[in-house]
Amino acid sequence: MIPLIREFIYSFFFHMLILDITEICFHPHFPDLLSRLLTPPPKSSPTPEPWTDPGPVCPALAPGVLIKATEAIPDGLFHQSTVLIVSHSSAEGTLGLIMNASVLPSVHGTIKMGGPVELEGRFLLHTDSSIPDKVEVLPGLYFTRGVFKPAKGSHSQVFFGYSGWRRGQLEGEFERGAWTVEGYTNAQDAFKL
């Protein structure tokens, strides 16, 4: 009797696993997600740093600037997205966070998808100046790799992944009309997007 029950349990879990895999594989976004997961990350990802040089092509690119995708990005992760520039340097590239991405519940409150780079990483946009290893995006607005519990009364948003462009890549996308500058934000309004 015990081997029969064990065989039933194994069979049940095997079939459930096959159903889950089938459901995942036939999901409409599966090919895009799979290609992003299988694509190796760039050799050097831009790291957050204070703004140094906005570059000649799009002088408006600087930390705190919001950029919006145009119709030139008809689908995919950046379709209709608004990205907050966290750091920009003509030498290093650009790092940003998708501010209007879908929200997922988690133990840290809610998590937004910040972009397709380092999807396994967690990143925190916050107003708590006491958190270590932070990069100041704007006065009173900080970016930190990892998740920390912000001080009471401060605002924060957890992201998985971030948006990264190598040197000159985002400027090239601006030249092709894929992005427009939406304006600047401040420490309080950044969390309303």
Integer Cα distance of 184 and 182 in angstroms? 7
pLDDT digits (tens, 9 = 90+) for 137-181: 999 999 999 878 888 888 888 998 999 999 999 999 999 999 999
pLDDT mean over 91-97: 92
- Give residue 111's pLDDT band: very low, low, confident or very high (50, 70, 90): confident
Structure token digits, residue 106: 């988690």
pLDDT digits (tens, 9 = 90+) for 37-77: 556 655 554 554 444 444 444 557 889 999 999 999 888 88
Q: What pLDDT was estimated at residue 39?
A: 60
Provide the CATH number for the domain formed by 65-192 in this structure. Answer: 3.40.1740.10
Q: Pick from 92, 82, 80: which is nearest to 52 by CA?
A: 92
Q: What pLDDT was estimated at residue 45?
A: 46
User: Structural domain boundaries of the chain?
Assistant: 2-38, 65-192
